[in-house]
Structure 1
Amino acid sequence: MTSAYEAARARRSWSRVTDEAPSHDELVRIVSAAGRVADHSSLRPWRLIELRGDDRLRLGRALNKAEGKRGVSTKPLRAPLLIAVVASYSKKSKVPRWEQEAVASGVAHMVSLLLDEAGWGVFWRTGSATRSKPIAKAHKLGKREELLGWLYVGGKPLDRDSGRRKAIDAEAFISRMP
């Protein structure tokens, strides 16, 4: 088993993936762990939408509609599994909206990290269409929900270099209280 530190150091985005994908049961197991991120007042202000097969074509139509185009965008076909990351804001809570969105983002990142550790290639797609009406309608988002993007998930290509990212100079990002 890999440590959290090793998994974080090894993580990278895979812009190209194979047609294999984790099963629904594997995804459920991963999400159950990812849902443990820090969450003020335990609001769970997030949900995930699993898109496979023809779901991706429906998303492709909505993407083109959002961009004023006809037909079906092929972007959602770049991976066999897409996971829509939705921030579901609680209006009744004292927890500010930005903090609730941070929790949803944290869950998405944790899902990405856990999928990567399990051997799956993952990349997070966003863009102007994420907040468009056609996309909200396609995902049946509620009034207090926003789409943060999609995790594209598939197999890691065997013929690709691991492309590990260069380690950051952590000292450049840490300072003391002025």
Structure 2
Amino acid sequence: MSALEAVLRRTSWSKVTEDAPTREELLPLIAAAGRVADHSSLRPWRLIELRGDDRIALGAAIAKANGDDKPSTKPLRSALLIAVVVSYRKSDKVPHWEQEAVASGVAHTLSLLLDEAGWGVIWRTGGYTRSRAVAEAHGLAENEELLGWLYVGGKPQGKDAGRRKPIDADALLTQMPAGRREG
């Protein structure tokens, strides 16, 4: 399958089975995803693997962040969650927004690679991703922020992921206004 075919067929799987790739299966995919464009090769990202009771601890942290009495069951929707973390590096050339873009690129590329490997994936976020309780549960350092989680599992038999609306590329690819072009 070409990269174009993989991207065109990518979709989010909101419901997955309890199957999940092993750590050993993840490592080569993460190594490949880490090849995204990265100004100054800062590698301003890391991933955190959450399985088993880690998901319960995350549910408690989400509840604390939201002021709820009961732990959130959202992390239990998948046997494997991969937390996407931007780890800001000191740089005079690379601003924080660009470092966050690199971490996002790693997450998206990893989701494509997981899909190609046969796994269902959805990237989930929420207002609580930047809360203190959730940051503490993940052991984030002062220079880190959570961007969300890739929920990963098996694709249910006989089910489609859902449809994505077609992209009107012509409407989204614009040109510089004529008055601003240098001649």
When normalised by structure 2's length, the TM-score is 0.94
Deviation, 1:175, is 1.1
Deviation, 1:166, is 3.7
| Paired position in structure 2 for 1:78 | 77
Mapped to 2, the partners of 1:93 and 1:81 lie a distance apart of 36
| Paired position in structure 2 for 1:128 | 127
- What RMSD in Å do the two structures reach over aligned CA positions? 1.0
Aligned length: 177
Q: How does 1:21-100 map to 2 (within 5 A)?
A: 21-100=20-99
Mapped to 2, the partners of 1:115 and 1:147 lie a distance apart of 20
Q: Is the 8 A contact 1:10 1:164 kept in 2?
A: no
Mapped to 1, the partners of 2:127 and 2:114 lie a distance apart of 26
Q: Does 1:155 align with 2:154?
A: yes
Deviation, 1:162, is 4.5
Q: How does 1:11-26 map to 2 (within 5 A)?
A: 11-26=10-25
| Paired position in structure 1 for 2:139 | 140
Deviations along 1:85-116, one digit per CA (max 9) or x if unpaired, are: 00000124421000000000000000111101
Aligned partner of 2:138: which letter? Answer: H
| Paired position in structure 1 for 2:111 | 112
Mapped to 1, the partners of 2:64 and 2:29 lie a distance apart of 32
Which of the two has higher C-alpha Rg?
Answer: 2
Deviations along 1:46-94, one digit per CA (max 9) or x if unpaired, are: 0000000111000000000000112321100000100000000012442
Aligned partner of 2:87: which letter? Answer: S
Aligned partner of 1:147: which letter? Answer: L
Mapped to 2, the partners of 1:93 and 1:102 lie a distance apart of 17
Percent identity, aligned pairs only, is 68
Counterparts in 2 of 1:78 and 1:162: CA distance versus 1, 3 Å: closer
Mapped to 2, the partners of 1:102 and 1:162 lie a distance apart of 26
Task: List alignment gaps of at least 5 residues for structure 2.
Answer: 178-183
When normalised by structure 1's length, the TM-score is 0.96
Q: Is the 8 A contact 1:51 1:82 kept in 2?
A: yes
SS in 1 for 2:68: coil
Mapped to 1, the partners of 2:157 and 2:85 lie a distance apart of 31
